[in-house]
Amino acid sequence: MHVYQEKKFTIPELKGISPKQLEVHLGLYAGYVKHVNLLREKIHELEAADKEKNAYTIAELRRRFSFEFNGMRMHEYYFEQWEKGPKTLTGSSALAQAVSEKYGSWENFISHFKTVGMSRGIGWTVLYWDPTGKTPASPAKRGEPHTAWVGDHELGTLAGLPVILALDMWEHAFMVDYTPAEKGKYIDAFLLNLNWSIPEERFKKAQ
């Protein structure tokens, strides 16, 4: 059986996000990787012991699996966005043009992304790309970006759409450095340190 390994990220010193905050957050990510493997192992053991007798327990573990797996994978999207330091996008970038067509301008997109991030509750703000959608500004073109709120890690995901940008809005992502009332400052720090070449590359692969 395949065993998932914790990924290591090369993240430089971040502005507005402390080394302690990053250390705590990476530790939580490691916990998701651990529990993905534990769940798969436990399901295998129960099936081998008595699949019929353990059917109810196995079903509940399978329901839990999406939470742990998405927690693992979403954090991998999140942390790699800071690797190699901050980098901005030019106005000519394909991603900048796509979101500007949908939201009216790059600035409007960033404002909307922040607004979704400020939604009450725990979860993620995710920029997806729908290759079959059509933007209102260019209905003849194929493809449309969507900014969505994902509860926990798995509730509200847009099926089949590739993740372009992922912002963790669980309190564990910022509570070392910021209070819940200051989470807007955390979002600003997240964006300040973002290496936009990572979402740009994801966008190119999604075409």
Distance CA 71, CA 32 (A): 6
Distance CA 128, CA 131 (A): 10
- Show the tokens assigned to 115: 């607004």
Does the pTM of the predicted model rise above 0.95?
no
Confidence grade of residue 134 (pLDDT, cut at 50, 70, 90): confident
User: Taking residues 10-36, what's their average pLDDT?
Assistant: 98
**Contact partners, residue 29, CB within 8 Å, separation at least 6:** 6, 71, 72, 75, 76, 79
pLDDT at 137 over 70: no
- Whether residue 146 contacts residue 158, with contact meaning beta carbons closer than 8 Å, is answered with yes
**Contact partners, residue 13, CB within 8 Å, separation at least 6:** 19
Share of the chain above pLDDT 90, in %: 90
pLDDT at 1 over 80: no
